[in-house]
Structure 1
Amino acid sequence: MKTSNSLLFILVLLYINASTEWPTHTVCKEDNLEIYYKSCDPQQDFALSIDHCADIATHTFDIRAAIVLRHSIKELHVKLDMIINGKTVLTYSEMLCGPGTSKLIFCGKKKGEHLYYEGPVTLGIKEIPQGDYTISAKLTNQDHVIVACADFTVKNNLDYY
């Protein structure tokens, strides 16, 4: 009995190590808006949730996010790409942490620290573009190493008018 349990445990570990991608997570799903994400960092997944999809279309909404840092954050850069039918149609980048710039509460955190945030977020956009598309988000530190990376699938049929 112990041998079969040990063998099963080893097979599970081998399967986990052989897996090349993370599962797709649901951020939110309501009648006219669905948002999913999958970590594109081969070494780490993270947690993100939003209470109500419809709140995203407002100026401020509440989220919960968690990750264990694999790299320290002295500087943090975000790069977002909007992808439609496999083609990048919009790119946005910004420094979130750096000398004289600390827009986030976890700027300065060290490798191995657990980050957890629960609270309001403001995107600064008036509406979420309609349609089906992907938002590729990549956070990199001062050494250009990935801190977090995800591809978000957005399916938006909300009517803003």
Structure 2
Amino acid sequence: MKISNVLVLILVLLYINASTEWPTHTVCKEDNLEIYYKSCDPHQDFAFSIDRCSDVSSHTFNIRAAILLRHNIKELYVKLNLIINGKTVLTYSETLCEPGHSKLIFCGKKKGEHLYYEGPVTLGIKEIPQGDYTVSAELTNEDHVTVACANITVKNYLDYY
């Protein structure tokens, strides 16, 4: 009996190590708007949710996000790419944390700490563009190491007019 338990454990561990991709998570799916994400960091997945899909089309909406830090965040940078039909059409980057200037409450957190945020987010845009597209988001720290990475798929068929 104990040998079979050990074999099952070994097979599970081998399967986990053989897996090269994280699953695609559904953030929300309503009549005209669908949002999915998949971690592109091969070592770590994270949790992300939105209260209601329809809230995303408003200026500010509530989210929940959680991750276990694998690296310190003394400095934090975000890089976003808008990808349509496999081509990057827009790139945006910003410094989120740096000594003496932090835009986020978790700046300064250490490796091994659990980050959890629940609250409002403002995108800074009036409406989400219609169509099917991907947003690639990568957060890196002062050592240029990936803190979190995701590919977000948006399918928006909302008519704003």
Confirm or deny a common fold (TM above 0.5). yes
TM range (shorter): over 0.9
- What residue number does 2:121 align with? 121
Query: Which residue of structure 2 aligns with residue 4 of structure 1?
Result: 4
Aligned-pair CA distance for 1:143:
0.8
CA shift, 1:99, in A, is: 2.6
Deviations along 1:34-63, one digit per CA (max 9) or x if unpaired, are 000000001000000001111111111111
Instruction: Tell me the amino acid that sits aligned with residue 115 of structure 2.
Output: L
Stretches (4+) displaced over 4 A: none
Q: Which residue of 1 aligns with 2:108?
A: 108
Aligned residue in 2 for 1:35:
35
Structure 1 counterpart of 2:83: 83
5+ long unaligned stretches in structure 2: none
Letter in 1 for 2:54: A
After TM superposition, the structure 1 = structure 2 runs for residues 1-161 of structure 1, keeping only pairs within 5 Å, are: 1-161=1-161
Say what the alpha-carbon RMSD is for the aligned residues. 0.8
Task: Report SS of the residue matched to 1:62.
Answer: strand
TM-score w.r.t. structure 1 length? 0.97
TM-score, structure 2 normalization = 0.97
C-alpha distance in 2 between matches for 1:43 and 1:58: 34
Instruction: For residue 56 of structure 1, give the secondary structure of its aligned residue in structure 2.
Output: helix
In 1, distance between residues paired with 2:82 and 2:139?
Answer: 15
| Shift in Å, 1:10 | 1.0
Q: How many residues align?
A: 161
Hey, what's the Cα distance between the residues in 2 that align with 1:138 and 1:64?
A: 18
Percent identity of paired positions between Structure 1 and Structure 2: 83
Q: What displacement does 1:100 show?
A: 3.1
Q: Secondary structure at the match of 1:5?
A: helix
